[in-house]
Structure 1
Amino acid sequence: MPTNSHSKDELIRRFGLLPHPEGGYYRETYRAAQTVHRQESANESRCASTAIYYMLCDGAHSAWHRLKSDEVWHFYAGEPLNVHVLDRHGKLTTHRLGDALTHPDTVFQAVVLAGDWFAAECEDPASFAVVGCTVAPGFEFSEFEVGDVGQLQALYPAYRELIVRLGPAASSA
């Protein structure tokens, strides 16, 4: 069933992945030297682009969050991964990332627009997925906003169950 013979532990070691605060593992692989200025704050510059490896495994998920930049997800290895996006118009879109050559109902890439709420999970919690995430302008933790489950349920009542299921793993309450 796996699309390759690599174990998750081998991939974590091979690519030098570190635990991600939301679950899973990651490593930044690129941070552009070139900088850009945000329109809303001409005095604030950001690197033009960043890229990471990101692995979800062991039933972990990426909880609801949003960025001030667009993010492109790229599938590399493992089993299909769902990226759920709640847009500013109240619509839910689920991008099914996977090896589009062996899983024709998947795509290799998906885009999450700046400001949209999104979360990700492996389709099969017992599997793993290795993806890449490219952010432009580049990712900064200062522009990373974790979703409040209660507020998201109020904004998107039709998707309450999904919002709760993919909320933060540890509650701060």
Structure 2
Amino acid sequence: MSIADDWITQLRLEPHPEGGFFRQTMKSEKNITTAKGRNRAQYTSIHFLVRSGEPSRLHQLESDEMWYFHTGAPLDVHMIHPESGRHEIMTLGPNPANGEVLQGVVPGGAIFGAEVRKPEQFALVSCVVVPGFEFADFELLARDELTAAYPEHKEIIERLT
């Protein structure tokens, strides 16, 4: 059993539809209304584990998502900002001297996914969504539509769809 498998077992993580493994760990008992008029928890939080070769596929959320690095290899969180088409990489990891950060934010509306670039490695992070995550707000994005809209990012789109 690998170290990643140990974390999956110990934290009782399950496969996520976008890729990786997760378990919701917190959900606010208080609700708020989103800009789109949806009733959501104030926040939700998950543990999320991504292994190399098994990326978190490109998707989009209405809410901001905060990411917190815990252990493992650096995790590249790729974001395409729809308003500008700009591609940005936020690398979560333990080494600030290498440009890695321990925490960061994916703004609501950004198209994003994540990957561990080091072979046979994993990253364990936590994600907090404000207002809270609901699968009704979750949308995996299609490769052909993304490539048509952002041809300059074809390589990353192909890796993360």
> Shorter-chain TM-score category?
over 0.9
Question: Aligned residue for 2:139?
Answer: 145
CA radius of gyration, larger in: 1
Gaps of 5+ in 2: none
Distance in 2, Cα, partners of 1:29 & 1:99: 23
Q: Does 1:65 align with 2:59?
A: yes
Distance in 2, Cα, partners of 1:163 & 1:104: 25
TM-score (norm 1): 0.87
Q: 2:12 aligns with which of 10, 16, 19?
A: 16
Moved more, 53-62 or 66-75: 53-62
**C-alpha RMSD of matched pairs (Å):** 1.4
For residues 108-143 of structure 1, the C-alpha deviation after alignment (integer angstroms, 9 at most, x for no partner) is 112111111001000213100001110000000000
Percent identity (aligned): 38
Which contiguous aligned blocks of 4+ residues in structure 1 show a shift greater than 6 angstroms? none
Distance in 1, Cα, partners of 2:15 & 2:52: 12
TM-score (norm 2): 0.93
Could you tell me which amino acid in structure 1 is paired with residue 7 of structure 2?
Answer: L
Q: How many positions carry a matched residue from both structures? A: 159
Gaps of 5+ in 1: 1-5, 168-173
Q: 2:22 aligns with which of 26, 40, 49?
A: 26
Question: Aligned residue for 1:46?
Answer: 40
Q: Does 1:91 align with 2:86?
A: yes
Distance in 2, Cα, partners of 1:105 & 1:160: 24
